Amino acid sequence: MRPALFLFSLILSIAITRAADGDLFTVELLARVDNQQQTVRGDATAASAGGSTRPVLTGKSKSTLRVRWTIVNEGKTAGIPDVTVHFVLDKENTVGQRDVPKPGPDVVYESALMMDFAPQAKSSADFVIEVPEPGSYLLRLETIGAAKTHGHEHVAAMDLRVP
């Protein structure tokens, strides 16, 4: 009987921790070039994508880069209105660069959409981009405006190395 009680307590503890965390907004970014693929799940922080080590994808210039992203409000009752979903592919000085600059006028690719994320709402994209000239690049998916009602923004990022 004790093992069953322990298991029940463990499950209840996990459920309470997840509910207390209250963050049911998930962000995922997937990129594929040639035979390589990287997937990163977004951090529930207001920090820049430079806050931790990012996965690195390597591709040849002029290859096809396939990008997929998904954002889901897994909450059952609370909506998150007026969220801008912003994706950018921009040049950086070096792979793993800690300071992530704001996109400039010469950004390689940028898209944005504004959405009200009702409970259980999902938004996703699937598109292809030509791998740019040799250099280091940042792929960054972020929310803008979620912090107003959700308390923080979400960021998912990875680096692209083009030798």
Give the separation between CA 71 and CA 138, rounded to whole angstroms. Answer: 19
pLDDT in tens, 4-54: 544 444 343 333 333 434 578 899 999 999 999 999 998 776 444 445 689
Domain coordinates of the chain in residue numbers? 23-162
Examine the pLDDT at 137 and tell me if it is beyond 90.
yes
Backbone angles phi, psi at 95, to 5 degrees: -60, 135
Q: Could you confirm whether domain 23-162 is CATH 2.30.42.10?
A: no
Question: pLDDT at position 103, please?
Answer: 80
Examine the pLDDT at 142 and tell me if it is beyond 70.
yes
Collect contacts of 74-78 with beta carbons under 8 A, ≥24 apart: 74/24, 74/25, 74/26, 74/120, 75/24, 75/25, 75/119, 75/120, 76/119, 76/120, 77/119, 78/119, 78/149
pTM of the predicted model as reported, rounded to 2 decimal places:
0.81
